[in-house]
Amino acid sequence: MSLKLGTTAPDFDAETTEGTIRFHDWAGDSWVIFFSHPADFTPVCTTELGLVAKLRDRFAKRNAKTLAISVDSLESHHGWIADIEHTQDVKMNFPIVADPDQNVATLYEMIHPEADAKLTVRSVFFIDPNKKIRATITYPPATGRNFEEVLRVLDGLQLTDGYQVATPANWEDGDDVVIVPSITDPKEIAQKFPKGHRELRPYLRMTPQPNK
């Protein structure tokens, strides 16, 4: 299958460092940030998992759970967690999927043979409470992810779900946003955006972020 935006995230059963899960049941009514790692006991991954553990409250504030995966065994994961906690000065607080047979990695197209036939690339899937894939980011194995960007994308998705706006270049939470071009009636614009707006062009209208 092709995991395009808007498609349903594949369900799966898996062993994790926090017990056996069925993915859709585990996700519940939350957003999920599902992200892959090339392998256990690798330096970049160790820093990433430690950082995500430190960001737990910021994800929880956005009704989001985090779930990691690498194509290693549960035993390996538990050994790695000890290293993560020691070197990153953090307590791990989210599950890592064990996927030694690469079943889940294959299901989510996390292995790119032209990059590496055995290891997963650094995929990030943003999955909404309806289990739809809303955004993806893919990094090569050697490049660490920017999790401030992950949080920014999540903020943008949640904002645009609730209001008829889009986020401009380099937008951050609290910045002005764009009124979607499909709204053309001035009365409707005034009703939906009572803080006012600036019309730079008929198709480019800026308004203060509605939920701030």
* 3-state class (DSSP) for residue 208: coil
Residue 90 tokens, joined: 């953090």
In this prediction, residue 142 carries a pLDDT of 85
36: exposed, middle or buried (Cβ count in 10 Å: 0-12, 13-18, 19+) = buried
Nearest CA-CA partner of 127 in 105, 145, 150, 95:
150
Residue 118 has pLDDT above 80, yes or no: no
Write out pLDDT tens, residues 40-78: 999 999 999 999 999 999 999 999 999 999 999 999 999
Lowest-pLDDT range of 47-61, 98-112, 114-128, 197-211: 114-128
Per-residue model confidence as pLDDT tens digits over 9-52: 999 999 999 999 999 999 999 999 999 998 999 999 999 999 99
Q: Is the pLDDT of residue 128 over 90?
A: yes
pLDDT cut 90: percent of the chain above it: 87
* Residue reference for tokens 């309806």: 130
- Domains delineated in the chain: 13-145 (3.40.30.10), 163-207 (3.30.1020.10)
Average pLDDT over residues 161-169: 97
Q: What is the DSSP string of 115-132?
A: T-SSS--EEEEEE-TTSB
Stated pTM of the model: 0.94
Query: How many C-alpha atoms does 9 have within 13 Å on its Cβ side?
Result: 28
Question: What is the model's pLDDT at position 76?
Answer: 97
Q: Check residue 141 and give its pLDDT.
A: 82
Q: Count the helix, strand and coil residues of the chain and give each as a percent rounded to the nearest 5.
A: 30, 25, 45
- pLDDT tens, position by position, 103-116: 999 999 888 766 65
- Catalytic (active-site) positions: 45
User: Does residue 1 surpass a pLDDT of 60?
Assistant: no
Whether 173 and 209 have beta carbons less than 8 Å apart is answered as: yes
Half-sphere exposure in the Cβ direction for 78 (13 Å, CA): 8
